[in-house]
Amino acid sequence: MSEVKSAARYRPETRLVHSGTLRSQYGETSEALFLTQGFIYDSAEQCEARFKGEEQGFLYSRFSNPTVAMFERRMIELEGAEAARATATGMAAVTTAVLAPLKTGDHVVAAKALFGSCRYVVEDLLPRYGITSTLVDGLDLDQWKAAMRPNTKTCFLESPTNPTLDVLDISAIADIAHKGGARLVVDNVFATPIWQSPLTLGADVVVYSATKHIDGQGRCLGGVILSSEAFINEHIHNFMRQTGPSMSPFNAWVLLKGLETLGVRVRAQTETAGKLADVLAKHPKISRLIYPGRADHPQAGVVKKQMRAGSTLIGLEVAGGKAGAFRCLNALKLSRISNNLGDAKSLVTHPATTTHQRLTPDARAELGISEGFIRYSAGLEHVDDLIEDFEQALAAV
Ligand SMILES: *Cc1c(COP(=O)(O)O)cnc(C)c1O
């Protein structure tokens, strides 16, 4: 087997197709799927040397597999990280990146506006192990500063946030974290690696749910943690090796093929989202519309500073509260009701009754998730079909 191929000197589009390719002796065009749990050795001596780390090579797919290594390498070169570990799901990436480096007595500061399960990790899981946390309004830098304590080890945020698409100032928050001796972990799912590179903005760790845009075709779950060699070696490698929240080779193969088309898909979906947002913003039955690519986005200045383009997602509030939102969702024919996002198929979600139903009504109100709020994920359909579908659905509201 030849060396993992580096395409780091090329532009991102080229890296998405070529980085990390590891060809076998057959010279296959497409990346090979090494659907194997383990590996065999030529001799007991070689096996011993591999286990001692004296000889490079694969041992067991819980912690290393050629197809998973290709996916990790492609992500490393896309993101500009030093090292990465692929995980079974996005939540495995978040849980591992947040929990693995911490111990009893440590403190976490996180933005309140988090994906529901991420909030569970911070609010419910960490305290069981004596790790306390403070949740802040992520847009308010003074709250981040005030929340820092001598034992704060990790700051955690996502931007744009799910589902209200607030855009948090990553470099300013990284500064606050670093002054306080903490690291910043950024969940970059909504921005995608195409539009935002948190490591270049000062973040220390980036996590993805690869289930979303990276697969982008609704097939499998996956996640990835990207950071420095030091962070991965010190905090993540052994935790993953011993506890096993690992990505399957099959999923790594699907996701590798997903990466080849990530740039094309995200660009097309963003263009569609932008056009749809402009149409819906003027619609009388839409009472509020949030789209990071529009000049009227509340943090338009931060968007310009840290993102290369808007988003494949739109936040909108339908007139008539929950009943209005449900009528619109039920009347849509093309855009389907689902809790996934970043898919080739346009998907629509009602966060108050799904992804954020675990929160109290007050906590939801605080985040701006009203009963009429809808999260829209633009797919790859023709934009005019999506607009026409929305127009007939809103006529039913
Ligand atoms: C979906 C999602 C996750 C969790 O990813 P899974 O692959 O579903 O486990 C985490 N963070 C954000 C922002 C997400 O959208």
- Which of 119, 121, 346, 157 has its CA nearest to residue 374? 346
Per-residue pLDDT of 27-79, as tens digits, reads 999 999 999 999 999 999 999 999 999 999 999 999 999 999 999 999 999 99
Per-residue pLDDT of 156-203, as tens digits, reads 999 999 999 999 999 999 999 999 999 999 999 999 999 999 999 999
Q: What is the pLDDT of residue 387?
A: 97
CA of 289 to the centre of ligand 1 (A): 23
Q: Is the pLDDT of residue 123 over 60?
A: yes
Domains 10-260 and 263-394 fall in the same CATH topology? no
- Which of 295, 288, 312 has its CA nearest to residue 369? 288
Is the C-beta atom of 221 inside 6 A of ligand 1? Answer: yes
Is the C-beta atom of 211 inside 6 A of ligand 1? Answer: yes
Percent of the chain with pLDDT over 90: 93
Per-residue pLDDT of 74-116, as tens digits, reads 999 999 999 999 999 999 999 999 999 999 999 999 999 988 8
| Ligand 1 atom 2: residue of nearest CA | 209
Q: What is the pLDDT of residue 135?
A: 97
CA angle 310, 71, 2 (to 5 degrees): 140
- Which of 292, 374, 287 has its CA nearest to residue 328? 374
| Ligand 1 atom 11: residue of nearest CA | 115
* Closest ligand 1 atom number to CA of residue 91: 9
Q: Which residues pair with 348 in a beta bridge?
A: 337, 376
Q: Where in the chain are the domains?
A: 10-260, 263-394
Decide which of 3.40.1160.10, 3.40.50.12500, 3.40.50.300, 3.90.1150.10 is the CATH code for 263-394: 3.90.1150.10
Q: What is the pLDDT of residue 1?
A: 57
CA of 115 to the centre of ligand 1 (A): 7
Ligand 1, pocket-test mutation among 117, 221, 224, 347, most atoms within 8 A of CB:
117
Q: What is the mean pLDDT of residues 267-273?
A: 98
Ligand 1, pocket-test mutation among 189, 215, 247, most atoms within 8 A of CB:
189
Q: What is the pLDDT of residue 14?
A: 95
CATH 3.40.50.300 fits 10-260, yes or no: no
| Ligand 1 atom 8: residue of nearest CA | 90
Q: Which tokens in the block code for residue 226? A: 């990207």
Is the C-beta atom of 94 inside 6 A of ligand 1? Answer: yes
Q: Which residues pair with 336 in a beta bridge?
A: 347
Is the C-beta atom of 189 inside 6 A of ligand 1? Answer: yes
Neighbours of 260 (CB within 10 A): 16
Distances (CA, A) of 80 to 83, 119, 199, 210, 236: 9, 27, 7, 17, 18
Percent of the chain with pLDDT over 70: 99
Q: How far from chain centre, in Å, is Cα 211?
A: 8
Q: Is the pLDDT of residue 124 over 80?
A: yes
Ligand 1, pocket-test mutation among 95, 167, 196, 211, most atoms within 8 A of CB:
211
Per-residue pLDDT of 212-267, as tens digits, reads 999 999 999 999 999 999 999 999 999 999 999 999 999 999 999 999 999 999 99
Taking the alpha carbons of 105, 111, 113, 115 in that order, is the dihedral positive or negative? Answer: negative
Q: Is the pLDDT of residue 20 over 60?
A: yes
CA of 142 to the centre of ligand 1 (A): 28
| Mean pLDDT rounded to a whole number for the chain | 96
Q: What is the pLDDT of residue 380?
A: 98
